[in-house]
Amino acid sequence: MRKEKRFCPLCGGNLEKIPLDGRIRLFCKECKNPVYENPVPATAAVVLNGEDHLLLVKRGMEPAKGAWCLPGGFVELDETPSHGAKRELQEETGLVGEVERLIDVVYEDSPFHGPLIIIGYHIIPCGGVLQAGDDAADAQYFSFTALPEVAFNSHQTIINKIARRNT
Ligand SMILES: [Zn+2]
């Protein structure tokens, strides 16, 4: 279950919920600052091999441990989304790639992480050796006609966009 913030990240004071700017927001009674909360950006990489098969990774950690999904993860503070997508691809699959194009930007309210913005890129692999790493337990290419169930709705939405071009 998703946890709510209870303490102010600035002063450690107790947070309360008050109406502010047209919605109920967290507010610190001690330092009188609102705590704004927003969807967190994450990336998902669509990588195809020479046979137009789709690269998926098997998740080694919760949420959805053991299920397949696109390679990807959270964007770090000091990187662009496209750099984050390439970094996560390399960490999870060993492949080095270049961003070909933006496929879609999808909102998903994750029961585990809370609201997310998933940025899906088509990435062309240009180096590296396919090997599962980091929090991926496996990494394999799948035909679009034999895809396993994909863990996240946002990833499925991104896959559907590219599948229409490949089947
Ligand atoms: Zn405070």
Sorted by sequence, the CB contacts under 8 Å of residue 35 that are 6+ apart come out as: 5, 8, 9, 15, 25, 26, 27, 28
The owner of tokens 């750099």 is: 83
Claim to verify: residue 49 and residue 76 sit in the same structural domain: yes
CA of 28 from ligand 1 middle (Å) equals 5
pTM of this structure: 0.89
Predicted local confidence at residue 135, as pLDDT? 84
pLDDT digits (tens, 9 = 90+) for 14-49: 999 999 989 999 999 999 999 999 999 999 999 999
65 and 127 inside one domain:
yes
Express the helix, strand and coil content of the chain in percent, nearest 5 each: 20, 45, 40
Shared-domain flag, residues 45 and 31? no
Question: Which residues neighbour ligand 1 (ion) by CB within 5 Å?
Answer: 8, 10-11, 13, 28, 30-31
In order of 40, 44, 58, 116, 162, the CA distances from 106 in angstroms are 12, 10, 21, 8, 14
Q: Residues in the chain with pLDDT < 70?
A: 1-2, 164-167
For residue 3, the domain's CATH number is 2.20.70
* CA 17 to ligand 1 centroid distance, Å: 13
- Considering the domain architecture, whether residues 159 and 109 belong to the same structural domain is answered as yes
Q: How far is the CA of 27 from the centre of ligand 1 (A)?
A: 8
Q: What is the pLDDT of residue 1?
A: 57
pLDDT at 123: 98
Are residues 109 and 162 both part of a single domain? yes
Domain residues for the domain of 26 are 1-37
* 73 Cα–ligand 1 center, Å: 30
